Amino acid sequence: MPSSAAPLLEAMPDPAETARVLAGPIRSMERLSGGGNNRIYRVETAGGAYALKCYGSTERLAREYGSLSFLAGIGAGSLTVPHPEAAAPDHGAALYEWIDGTAVSRAPDGRKEDDMAQAVAFAAFLAGHRSAEGAAALAEAAEACLSLTGLLDQIESRFARLSDVDDVRLGEFLRADARPVIDRARIRALTGYAAAGLGPSAPLEPGLRTLSPSDFGFHNALRRRDGSLVFLDFEYFGWDDPVKLTADFLWHPAFSLALQEQADWHDGMMALFAADPAFSARLRAQLPLYGLRWTMILLNEFLPERWERRLFAGTSAGWSEAKAAQLSKARLWLREARRLTDGPDGDVRSSFPLLADR
């Protein structure tokens, strides 16, 4: 069991020095809670406040800073995303506009009536700028799923990595519970693809892909005083199948959606990507598989290298407690994936609500 985040901590320069390199003389600096795999600070200077983000990965730094620079260039501006100010790759950090806002509720009853409309509008903004200058040069999203085979391979890869972990509870869950559902979901998806005349290994043609934050949801949003939302976290941004954007939003474990919100998101994506003739068929075939993919992701806490990242970001949880909590969540996600896999093969909307008792 790792007892510290030593490899990451030793490699990270002093945050105060990094702040001075990027922002000049600083008046104060405060580390913020949260941050996932990173460390985030509020930095006060004579010119105003900034957000300093210290990454545990230079790849994620480059992707996020480049993505936000692209979005600033096409007019996203400070209304929907933070403006990138400066980056210092040798310090593993970047400086961004400070957003004066409050966290958006992760539960439906704490959100505003038009929050979903703003989320759909941002997805539409990205889709509407697929031909913008510089868009073609952007990379695929991290772990993009551009074919059914690619999605299946990702699930199997995560399953294999978790199977190597020496943990009795995890091993039993994977072998006895998850494995049979994965096998049935694969058959269901391949059958659906065959019925729709789709090739499971054929990558989605570039003209049908969309730009995606790849970790999109209300957990990565702040609300300004005027009610407008600012979306955060573009470490995994890039080109992807809009089906993945759609499914991930529905399955994401970091926030929950009411039945009407699920329907509104689904309907919004169906309208947005109506020109894609196979969008509905792909979504119907792949939705249970995305539930299984998230089942595997929820178990990342069992991987020592992933736990190192949590320690780097400053988690206060104990490793044993974190693993037990994530296994419990994974059981719920697996149950829902099983329900969709074994249930009637109707339209996606008829499967809602997903995760009703999460």
Looking at residue 143, what DSSP letter applies? T
Tell me the three state secondary structure of residue 356: coil
Report the distance separating Cα 63 and Cα 332, nearest Å: 32
The DSSP-derived string for 176-222 is IIIHHHHHHHHHHHHHHHHHHT--TTSPPPGGG-EEE-SS-SGGGEE
Contacts of 155 (CB under 8 A, 6+ apart): 182, 289, 292, 293, 296
Q: Where are the domains of the chain?
A: 6-100, 103-351
Q: pLDDT digits over 153-210, tens only?
A: 999 999 999 999 999 999 999 999 999 999 999 999 999 999 999 999 999 999 999 9
Report the distance separating Cα 138 and Cα 69, nearest Å: 11
Tell me the three state secondary structure of residue 45: strand
Q: pLDDT digits over 202-232, tens only?
A: 999 999 999 999 999 999 999 999 999 999 9
Q: Which fold has domain 6-100?
A: Phosphorylase Kinase; domain 1 (3.30.200)
Name the class of domain 103-351. Answer: alpha beta
pLDDT of residue 8: 46
Report the distance separating Cα 315 and Cα 38, nearest Å: 10
Please tell me the pTM assigned to this model.
0.93
